[in-house]
Structure 1
Amino acid sequence: DPRVILPVMVCYDAFVMSHTYMQVDIPEQEAVDRFLPPFRSLWKLDLAYPFTHGSVIYPDDYEEVRFSMQQAMDNARRVIAEAAREYRDMVGGYHGELVDAYRMEDAEYALLAMGTVASECRVAVDELRESGYPCGLVRIRSYRPFPVAELRELLAPLRVALVIDRAISFGLEGPLFSEVKAAVYGNGGSSIHGMVTGLGGRDVPYDLIAENAVAAFQGKLPPGSHWPAVRLNEHHRLVKRSLEEYWKKEGVR
């Protein structure tokens, strides 16, 4: 799309997506052809119109180039939404635009997640509603551009939100947790908690999510990113003791 012209990175969960399988619906080729226009490269080598590709950008022009990339990323917000609606109309199937909201119409609480863990969150939301918590789910579909306006609208009326990260930004907290807090800063009084789990493809069952969601809703989670599934056992303690003994022998501790 000439409004964007930026590379796209499609990210998926390691192990959960790369080492498992499930049934999928493959659209008919005719529907795909209707949705996808014929590919025409906007950047190509053409002797009739010569210009430089990938050259060094000097300081006098670098900031303007970066500014144009930021404008293109802002344009992508509208393009992503348009493409999602066009896919729904031409092919069938709709999975949201920058976000996918589930049972958020009357929600007082919410779970926020990206990727495959959002499927478990949907089950957790249903369980929480059965237990009397009017909870919904906001699945983040686009990390860049980040859905700031959508999150500010969806989270404004909430009492509590729990952000589930399957990643850790070392030295800080879960990256999605940081982004969500920054996006809604100054936009109401909803309390936002973070949870890091499922690293390395470890299973994240819906009951673990629901249990920690209740703790968040009741104000019982500690500040920062909570790690509910860490289970240090005798093997970990033995390795730690062995390393400490070795370091002591070597005089490094």
Structure 2
Amino acid sequence: MLEIMEGSHAVAEIVKRCRPQVIAAYPITPQTHIVEALAQMVADCELDADYITVESEFSALSACLGASAAGSRVYSATTSQGLALMFEVCFNVAGLRQPIVMTIANRSLGAPLSIWNDQQDSISLRDSGWLQVYAEDNQEAVDLHMIAYRVCEDHDVLLPAFVCFDGYVLTHTYEPVSIPTQEEVDAYLPAFNPYQRLDASNPLSFGMYATPDYYMEFRYEIDRAQHRAKEVFAKAGREFARQFERDYSAPVEGYRLEDADTAIVAMGSICGTAKDAVDEMRDAGKTAGLLKIRMFRPFPAEEIRDALKGVSTVAVLDRNISLGSGGGVGTEVKAALSGSGTAVYDYIVALGGRDIRKKDIAGIVDLAEEGRGDMFYGLRTEVL
């Protein structure tokens, strides 16, 4: 049954149904409503979990790491500067192979201070070893949390995951959302079965010192687990589709690409606007389409190549910037399509919460088709 819910509250409801045993998080805009709701659920005895009150995001993820190593299903959430404060611990979580799920309410990083939405925060941790998935709308954000736990806890993966959805644009927006019942979630997501855990009767050591003779092999194993996660994600997505009739099994999703000459590539809520822009361009006689990237880590290079066969021009909408290089998504799409003959242009858009409208996306398509790309789109040149 559909309910009209704020995105943050919808995420809190599905996290509750995933039965985390330990939650540790520090409130930070625009993530606060998620952990506020979960804390209330614990206080009201609606959720049988330990909610750890901490003094910072660094402490929050550190507590989660310890709880996960002890054998608990764990959850956290953060954004922006909070995620930046977790940087060290993010690498430790992945290196220790702990299957923690964390919601990222995507928000700009300072300085200057900005509380508005872009994807700079999670993209900055793309090399940390965490899986990364991005939701277009609140229904997808809800469903991806269930799938993330299935994938992370699979013993062929054992990696943490960011479930990313856009701050304010989704977190504070009320949309119709179908929240599965507890019985439905239990049927899809089994009880947590840790691969190994700290146990006084069977002592283990986690995160030991690695000399140059062994360190590289640890990184290799994380990389292999990332690649295995793609197939595990596809399987978990197919099983989700059979139960709930919503299919997330593919790491990318095309929209009106069948006969497209030009393809827009994007992640997150901007894809909804891009679909409307594609429809209007189609009505005007322009054969454009959209490729939505759902999974950014592991990066679906092969699936992107397959989806964009026959497309002559690609316009990537990057809501992040690798300063001195280009957009994080555009850089990888260019690498994936290298040698294909497809022209790929990267556009840095909507940083710091700046609006991007259908007419802007249509204008970007025009620029790409004219061979003008790799630029910050919509700069206010009068203030430079």
- TM-score tier by shorter-chain length is 0.7 to 0.9
- Partner residue, 2:295: 142
Q: Equivalences for 1:18-29 in 2 at 5 Å?
A: 18-29=171-182
- Partner residue, 1:241: none
Amino acid of the structure 1 residue aligned with 2:362? A
- Partner residue, 1:245: none
- Partner residue, 1:244: none
- Partner residue, 2:320: 167
Shift of 1:30: 2.1
Shift of 1:125: 1.1
d(CA) in 2 for partners of 1:127 and 1:165? 21
- Partner residue, 1:105: 258
Shift of 1:14: 3.1
Structure 1 residues 111-133: Cα deviation after superposition (integer angstroms, max 9, x where no partner): 10011111111111111211222
Shift of 1:47: 3.0
Q: Equivalences for 1:28-107 in 2 at 5 Å?
A: 28-107=181-260
For these two proteins, the number of residue pairs brought into alignment is 231
Shift of 1:181: 0.3
d(CA) in 2 for partners of 1:59 and 1:92? 49
Shift of 1:218: 3.2
The reply on whether 1:7 has 2:156 as its aligned counterpart is no
**Identity %, equivalent residues:** 38
d(CA) in 1 for partners of 2:249 and 2:352? 27
Q: Secondary structure at the match of 1:213?
A: helix
When you count strand as a share of all residues, which structure comes out higher? Answer: 2
Amino acid of the structure 2 residue aligned with 1:168? I
d(CA) in 1 for partners of 2:209 and 2:191? 31
Shift of 1:13: 2.3
Shift of 1:66: 0.9
d(CA) in 2 for partners of 1:25 and 1:118? 20
Amino acid of the structure 2 residue aligned with 1:10? V
CA contact (8 A) 1:16 1:201 kept: no
- Partner residue, 2:359: 207
CA contact (8 A) 2:316 2:345 kept: yes
Q: Secondary structure at the match of 2:292?
A: strand
Match of 2:267 among 98, 103, 114: 114
Q: Which runs of 5+ in 2 are unaligned?
A: 1-153
Report the TM-score when normalising by structure 1. 0.85
CA contact (8 A) 2:238 2:248 kept: no
d(CA) in 1 for partners of 2:178 and 2:300? 27
d(CA) in 2 for partners of 1:145 and 1:66? 14
Larger Rg: 1
Report the TM-score when normalising by structure 2. 0.57
d(CA) in 2 for partners of 1:13 and 1:169? 19
- Partner residue, 1:231: 380
Match of 1:190 among 342, 352, 367: 342
Q: Secondary structure at the match of 1:10?
A: strand
Shift of 1:33: 1.4
d(CA) in 2 for partners of 1:41 and 1:212? 47
d(CA) in 2 for partners of 1:138 and 1:52? 44
- Partner residue, 2:15: none
Shift of 1:96: 4.9
Q: Secondary structure at the match of 1:32?
A: helix
Structure 1 residues 161-198: Cα deviation after superposition (integer angstroms, max 9, x where no partner): 10001111111111111010011112x21111111111
Q: Secondary structure at the match of 1:127?
A: helix
